[in-house]
Structures are given as C-alpha cells and as structure tokens.
C-alpha cells in the first residue's frame, strides 16, 4: 500500500512538472543572463533562474554555448540524438557529448579502468572481471564524462563513491560465465539531461538480427598505443549463439569450445569492434517503435582479438539475469529519487 501511494504521488507530481512544455528551455534555446540575449522570448521560462531568460542560441551574445540542463525524462533509456552541444564537431566513431546519458566511466585511484551503465540513480551495472584488481575504497563512478583527456569539461561531470560491490556468486573468470556486478553508490545521481538511466530488457527477449551499439572508452584495436580518450560509439550486429560458438571454435579456443550459457554475441565485421578497456560497458539496442530510446542487451565480456571478420565478441546477456538484478533494485527503493527508475525498468514488461 505505501508503494501504491508513492506511485500515485509520483504520477501527479510528474503531470504538474511536465504538463507545460512551453515553460521548458529546450531544443535550439538555452538559459542565459538577460543581457546576453539580443531578442528575448515574450514569456518567462520556469526552467531558467530569475536572472535568466530562455534565448534562441542564434541570439546569444557575449558567452559561449552552455549545454542544456533541462528537466530529465521520466522514461528510462532516452538518448539525446544530436547530443547536448550541437556545435561540437565529432568524427564518425565518436559519440556526441551527452548523447548516451547512462554511460558511466569507472576510475580507481584517479585512473580510468572500465565502463558501466546507470540502471537506477544509485546503482551501476558493470562486469565482474574488471573489478578483480580494484579496491572498493578506491573506485569512483563518473557521470557526464565525454573526453577523458580534457580538464575543461563540456558537461559538468558528477562523481560518486562506491559503498558496496555485488558480483554474481557464480562468476567464472576463466570462462566469462555470469560476468556481471552491481556497484552501490554512496548517494544517488540527480537525473538530468545528461545523466539518465538505461532500460532493462524483459527476460528471454531475443535480439538476433539486430544492429546495436556500445558506447564508452578504450582501444579499438590491439595496435592502438593507448585508449581513445573521447567517448566512442560502435554499431555491431547481434550474432546468433550457435553461429558465434562456431566462429570461436575456429580460433585458439579450439573445436570443442563451449560458449557459456546466458551469453549474447555481437560483432564479426572487419575493423568494426571494441577492444581493451571497454569492459563493463553496455551493449544497447533501440526499441522498434522508439528509435531514440534504448534498452541494455549486454555487458562487454570477452573476445578473441578485435575487429576480425567472422569472429564475434561475447557479452553477458542482461535479459537472462533479471531474476538476479531485480532483487538488488528493490534494496534501493528507499533511496530518494530511485523509485521512479525502478518503475521505469518495468515499463517494457
């Protein structure tokens, strides 16, 4: 009964906050000080402060572009298709700033070591194998990151410490079976345009034949001297499991290799792949009826080489671990701001 009452309040508060779209400074507009707008809009904007107005970007003078911090969507998995700085030039393999707002960067002692995804404001999903050599006390989760090498951030990054690591009890480092873990944060992220949650798929959902993507940081090939510091986006085909196993049997794994259960495969295209340091990052697919909304299909697990034709890489299949993930979601219900995301995670059942 208390949860039903909370949902009732959440629904009505959401209706109040999002009922008047004309009072939200979105799209080609931004909140700026009144003196920095050549031609002000005829109405006050509730998303700007008292000293600001909602100004068309073409009319902004005297300041550089500031990314939108518009109210967050109440739905999980919503991307920002053109990013949050439309003037920032990117090449074909780079994500735009803020384009995939659930992408988390993991650091240990100030050094980047892997990726993760925000599934509630206080909980990050990642791979167990990348955590083996890192102490809980040293791990930091960063949201809003785009360029690891730059101290001048396009978006105001936010960081949280990790208070608990929950790795799957049946995780096998040798085979990559059950390779997933949850990071419990010391305080939940406040959702905003560039910090959002990713949806979780329903159990047993098939993604065979789809083209999905990974976004994060790392090497694109073993030949790279260092990781690419700007967030990458790589589109990959989902490969049917038996075909993936046959492909891997042609490698050094040998003809008797057995792919672990609850693994999904993607890749197998020459030169199009992710490589080291992408571990823990999300493999995500768009919904058929909502191309700008995504659900997390997999977690970067292991591969044999990088970007080789007809050799797919493996990903932990998230849909097959909902029974393990969901009880941990329930543990964080009482943390302020998390209830809405738990509801979001079940919208697609």
Euclidean distance between CA atoms 273 and 66, whole angstroms: 33
**Beta carbons of 348 and 199 less than 8 angstroms apart:** yes
Predicted local confidence at residue 98, as pLDDT: 95
Euclidean distance between CA atoms 269 and 346, whole angstroms: 33
Q: Which helix (H) or strand (E) holds 342?
A: helix 339-345
Q: Look-up: residue for tokens 């090449």?
A: 91
Euclidean distance between CA atoms 31 and 48, whole angstroms: 6
**Beta carbons of 339 and 6 less than 8 angstroms apart:** yes
What is the three-state SS of 127-155? CCHHHCCCCHHHEEEEECCCECCCCCCCC
Residue 230 vs residues 61, 96, 128, 174, 279: alpha-carbon distances, Å: 29, 9, 24, 31, 16
DSSP state of 201: P
Predicted local confidence at residue 332, as pLDDT: 46
Q: How many CB atoms lie within 10 A of CB 58?
A: 9
- The CA-based angle 216-222-225, given to 5 degrees, is 80
**Beta carbons of 284 and 325 less than 8 angstroms apart:** no
Predicted local confidence at residue 8, as pLDDT: 36
Tokens of 33: 């000080």
pLDDT tens for 158-200 read 999 999 999 999 999 999 999 999 999 999 999 999 999 999 9
What is the average pLDDT value for the chain, to the nearest integer? 81
Three-state DSSP state, 249: helix
Q: Which helix (H) or strand (E) holds 234?
A: strand 228-239
Note the CATH architecture for domain 72-349.
Beta Barrel (2.40)
Instruction: Show the low-confidence residues of the chain (pLDDT under 70).
Output: 1-32, 39-52, 57-58, 62-74, 222, 330-349
Euclidean distance between CA atoms 210 and 237, whole angstroms: 6
DSSP state of 314: E
**Beta carbons of 124 and 185 less than 8 angstroms apart:** yes
Three-state DSSP state, 99: coil
Predicted local confidence at residue 43, as pLDDT: 46
Three-state DSSP state, 59: helix
Classify residue 38 as left (phi > 0), alpha (psi -120 to 50) or beta: alpha
Predicted local confidence at residue 194, as pLDDT: 94
Share of the chain above pLDDT 90, in %: 58
Residue 146 vs residues 100, 212, 343: alpha-carbon distances, Å: 10, 20, 28
* Dmax (CA) of the chain: 71
Euclidean distance between CA atoms 94 and 231, whole angstroms: 6
Q: Would you kindly state where each structural domain of the chain is located, as residue ranges? A: 2-59, 72-349
Predicted local confidence at residue 149, as pLDDT: 92
**Beta carbons of 93 and 233 less than 8 angstroms apart:** yes
Predicted local confidence at residue 17, as pLDDT: 31
Predicted local confidence at residue 338, as pLDDT: 37
Residue 281: burial class (beta carbons within 10 Å; 0-12, 13-18, 19+): buried
Rounded to the nearest 5 percent, the helix, strand and coil shares of the chain are 20, 30, 50
- List all residues 6 or more positions away from 55 whose beta carbon is below 8 Å from its beta carbon: 29, 30, 31, 32, 36, 37, 38, 39, 40, 41
pLDDT tens for 194-236 read 999 999 999 988 898 899 999 999 987 767 778 899 999 999 9
Predicted local confidence at residue 57, as pLDDT: 67
């Amino acid at each position: 009964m208390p949860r039903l009452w909370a949902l009732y309040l959440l629904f009505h508060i959401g209706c109040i906050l999002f009922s008047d779209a004309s009072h939200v400074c979105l799209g080609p507009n931004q909140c700026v000080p009144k003196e920095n707008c050549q031609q002000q809009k005829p109405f006050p904007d509730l998303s700007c402060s008292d000293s600001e107005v909602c100004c068309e970007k073409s009319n902004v003078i005297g300041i550089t572009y500031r990314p939108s911090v518009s109210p967050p969507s109440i739905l999980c998995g919503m991307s920002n298709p053109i990013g949050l700085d439309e003037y920032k030039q990117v090449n074909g393999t780079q994500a735009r700033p803020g384009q995939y707002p659930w992408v988390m960067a993991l650091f240990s002692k100030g050094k980047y070591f892997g990726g993760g995804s925000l599934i509630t404001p206080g909980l990050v999903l990642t791979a167990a194998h990348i955590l083996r050599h890192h102490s809980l006390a040293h791990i930091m989760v960063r949201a809003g990151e785009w360029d690891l090498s730059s101290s001048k951030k396009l978006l105001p990054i936010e960081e949280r410490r990790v208070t608990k690591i929950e790795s799957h009890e049946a995780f096998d480092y040798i085979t990559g079976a059950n390779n997933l873990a949850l990071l419990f944060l010391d305080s939940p992220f406040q959702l905003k345009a560039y910090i959002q949650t990713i949806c979780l798929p329903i159990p047993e959902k098939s993604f065979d034949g789809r083209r999905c993507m990974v976004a994060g940081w790392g090497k694109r090939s073993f030949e790279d001297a260092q990781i690419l510091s700007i967030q990458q986006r790589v589109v990959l085909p989902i490969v049917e499991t038996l075909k993936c196993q046959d492909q891997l049997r042609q490698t050094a794994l040998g003809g008797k290799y057995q792919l672990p259960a609850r693994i999904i495969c993607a890749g197998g295209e020459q030169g199009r792949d992710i490589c080291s340091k992408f571990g823990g990052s999300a493999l995500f697919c768009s919904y058929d009826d909502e191309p700008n909304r995504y659900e997390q299909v997999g977690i970067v697990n292991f591969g044999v080489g990088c970007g080789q034709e007809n050799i797919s890489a493996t990903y932990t299949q998230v849909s097959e671990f909902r029974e393990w993930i969901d009880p941990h979601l329930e543990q964080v219900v009482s943390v302020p701001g998390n209830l809405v995301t738990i509801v979001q995670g079940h919208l697609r059942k």
